[in-house]
Structure 1
Amino acid sequence: MANTAQTRKRARQNDSQRAHNASLRSIFRTAVKKIVKAIQTGDKKVAAESYKENVAVIDRIADKKIVHKNKAARHKSRLNTAIKSL
Structure 2
Amino acid sequence: MANIKSAKKRILVNQTKAARNKSIKSSVKTAIKKVDAAIAAKDADAAKTALLAATSAIDKAASKGVYHKNTASRKISRLNLAVNKLA
| Pairwise same-fold verdict (TM > 0.5) | yes
Q: Equivalences for 1:67-86 in 2 at 5 Å?
A: 67-86=67-86
Determine the structure 2 residue equivalent to 1:37.
37
Instruction: Report the AA paired with residue 62 of structure 2.
Output: A
In the alignment, the residues of structure 1 paired with residue 81 and residue 13 of structure 2 have an alpha-carbon distance, to the nearest angstrom, of 40
CA distance in 1, matches of 2:21, 2:46: 30
Q: How many residues align?
A: 86
For residues 9 and 78 of structure 1, what CA distance do their matches in structure 2 show? 40
**2:79 & 2:72 partners in 1: Cα distance?**
11
Distance, in Å, in 2 between the alignment partners of 1:46 and 1:72 is 22
Query: Unpaired runs of 5+ in structure 1?
Result: none
Residue 50 of structure 2 aligns with which residue?
Answer: 50
AA in 2 matched with 1:42: K
Q: What is the CA distance between 1:53 and its match in structure 2?
A: 2.2
Q: What is the TM-score of this pair, normalised by structure 1?
A: 0.90
Q: State the identity as a percent.
A: 38
Per-residue deviation, 1:54: 2.2
Shift of 1:71: 1.2
Whole-Å separation in 2 of the counterparts to 1:25 and 1:54: 11
- Alignment partner of 1:64 is 2:64: yes
Aligned residue type for 2:77 = S
Number of the residue aligned with 1:23? 23
Tell me which residue corresponds to 2:5.
Answer: 5
